[in-house]
Amino acid sequence: MAAERLSMRKVKEALRLQAEGRSRRSIAQSLGVAHSTVAEYLRRAQAAGVPWPLAAVLSDADIEGRLFPTPLSSHVARPLPAWSEIHRELRRKGVTLQLLWLEYKEAHRDGYQYSQFCEHYARWSGKLDLVLRQEHRAGEKVFVDFAGQTVPVIDPTTGEVREAQIFVGVLGASNFTYAEATWTQELPEWTQAHVHMYEYFGGVPAVTVPDNLKSGVRHACYYDPDINPTYHELATHYNTVVLPTRTARPRDKAKVEVGVQIVERWILARLRNHTFHGLADLNREIRRLLDLLNDRPFKKLPGSRRSIFEVLDRPALRPLPPTRYEYARWKKARVNIDYHIEVLGHCYSVPHTLVRQEVDVRITTHTIEILHGGRRIAAHVRSERRGGFTTDATHRPKAHQRHLEWTPSRILRWAEQTGPRTRDLVQRILDSRPHPEQGYRSCLGLFRLARRYSPARLEAACARALTLGAVSFRSVNSILQNGLDRLQPEEQTTLSLPRDHDHVRDPGYFVTSTPGEI
């Protein structure tokens, strides 16, 4: 008895140390017993439902009786649970086999212990089909892929035959299935089929598991897959996570592989003798047969895909967002030195501080959004005018903004306020350039002189420059710096520049000369 009491004491000590978070190896060292002995004690305690702290009414004999029960005669019949109910409950979030065993024991005190309970369940579940043997939590995953089989659709006008692709989605817990025909497997149809699937379910699973289809996954990698930006945006909009399967690992997508096979057998095979003249007609017939498939009773389990979906998946699905996802394409672009990027033949402005940097562009039917570092920096209404420019004035540097505020008429109005000779000089400067904007800089220089000198001096300097034929900002500035504007008219004549000097050109030279003659 002393040895037995010592054994129970060590069992209780092992339970206490485990509750404190000690490892089995450290517990074994503390008790001076083998690691396998500790593992056996803890396994029996878990199987018998003996937690720590122990109930005060439990004696050592009670504990020993639970951990080391006397084997019953083999002929004693014990009640068995409804394994199909156990199987279904296991798909609920947080439900474990141990919890179901505890509930079973509450209803049947003489029922099987935990280890035998698990063994019986394993035998029962081993007889199920592979598609039902996998365990998936309610509302957790949807598996999506395109079927290998296609359906011919005939154009009634031209007689051309096109092969429609078949998109398939299968929920993990209930096997509730969705199918839809698309023209291609490209990104627009891929994302649109997801939108229709989520709406058919009336909610969104926590995880969306695609095959490594190029439309959705740019670079296939199980540990760090590179998701297409559009597909990633779709997932964000619907609050789901995309976890692609591994390449060449069919078991990762066994759920949808079997789902595709069922769709091919129960839907596409029944359409083999039908003739379709449009994608809408084909999808209408697919939806009719899809509803029949989801309502079809299981062979080895009670209920159907729809009945299990209503009980398990539908309550656990995340709600649909208020608005439907709008398809958008993404591309990268580099900002040119004129602070514009080119998108589909049209140029759109971005803040000038991003010149020569790479940005992300989101293209929708109506808008062009430009992002840098994950932050939206510009948005424009989409234009179909090739070769055109769409510019936000706030994207220009301050100097460019001030420059564009000036027009020839505004410059002339300012010059006229200073005096008629100033206006004549400004007009001569603008006329002497092939394009008026080429003379803006000289005119803006005159404005700067107007802040340093009085209007009378600037007017006199402009008059002297016109007399000398020196039509430029530099000439007016030199006249003012040297005080030549203050000379009397007779002195101005005396000091006029010689007209016959070899290095002095007539004012008309700058108007009539061509670039090749200079």
What is the residue extent of each domain of the chain? Answer: 2-67, 83-127, 141-316, 329-396, 406-512
Per-residue pLDDT averaged across 204-220, rounded?
69
Give the model's pLDDT for residue 1: 36
Band of pLDDT at residue 133, cut at 50, 70 and 90: very low
- Each residue's pLDDT tens digit, 76-123: 567 888 887 888 777 776 678 888 888 888 888 888 888 888 888 888
Highest mean pLDDT: which range of 55-64, 332-341, 395-404, 498-507: 332-341
Q: Closest Cα to residue 326, out of 382, 373, 285?
A: 382
In this prediction, residue 497 carries a pLDDT of 45
Amino acid 6: pLDDT: 43
**Model confidence pTM above 0.85:** no
Banded pLDDT at 516 (limits 50, 70, 90): very low
pLDDT at 219 over 70: no
Measured from the Cβ of residue 310, the count of other Cβ atoms closer than 10 Å reads: 14
Residue 506 has pLDDT above 60, yes or no: no
Among 198-202, 266-270, 369-373, 381-385, the range of highest mean pLDDT: 198-202
pLDDT band at 434 (very low <50, low <70, confident <90, very high): low
Mean pLDDT of 293-297: 90
Quick check: 35 and 25 in contact, CB under 8 A?
A: yes
Q: Are 181 and 278 in contact (CB under 8 A)?
A: no
> HEC string of 400-452?
HHHHHHCCHHHHHHHHHHHCHHHHHHHHHHHHCCCCHHHHHHHHHHHHHHHHH
Q: The tokens of 347 are what?
A: 């140029």
Q: Answer with the residue of higher pLDDT: 93 or 295.
A: 295
Please count the other Cβ atoms lying within 10 Å of the Cβ belonging to residue 36.
10
- Give the pLDDT confidence score for residue 427 in this predicted structure: 87
Does residue 16 have a pLDDT over 70?
Answer: yes
Residues 294-311: what's their mean pLDDT? 85
pLDDT of residue 14: 79
Residue 198 pLDDT greater than 90, yes or no: yes
Average pLDDT over residues 14-38: 80
Residue 254 has pLDDT above 50, yes or no: yes
- Could you tell me which residues come within 8 angstroms of residue 505 by beta carbon, excluding any fewer than 6 positions away? none
Q: For the chain, report the end-to-end CA distance as a whole number of angstroms.
A: 122
What's residue 438's pLDDT? 59
The pLDDT assigned to 131 comes to: 42
pLDDT, greater one: 203 or 248:
203
With 60 as the cut, is the pLDDT of residue 493 above it? no
- Residue-level pLDDT at 194: 93
| Angle in degrees, CA 188, 189, 192, rounded to 5 | 85
- The domain defined by 141-316 folds into Nucleotidyltransferase; domain 5 (3.30.420)
- Mean pLDDT taken over the chain: 78
Q: Give the type of residue at 91.
A: R
Q: Which of 45, 44, 101, 109 is nearest to 72 (CA)?
A: 109
Q: What is the pLDDT of residue 403?
A: 56
What local confidence, expressed as pLDDT, does residue 490 receive?
Answer: 56
The arithmetic mean of pLDDT across residues 473-483, rounded, is 88
Q: Which of 24-33, 95-104, 223-232, 262-271 has the lowest mean pLDDT?
A: 223-232
Q: CA–CA separation, 360 vs 348, rounded Å? A: 13
Per-residue pLDDT for 491 more than 70? no
The 10s digit of each residue's pLDDT in 380-409 is 988 888 888 888 888 877 766 555 556 677
pLDDT given for residue 224 in this prediction: 39
Is 377 within 8 Å of 367 (Cβ atoms)?
no
Q: Are 352 and 367 within 8 A, CB to CB?
A: no
Residues 6 or more apart whose CB falls under 8 angstroms from that of 76 comprise none
Average pLDDT over residues 418-424: 88
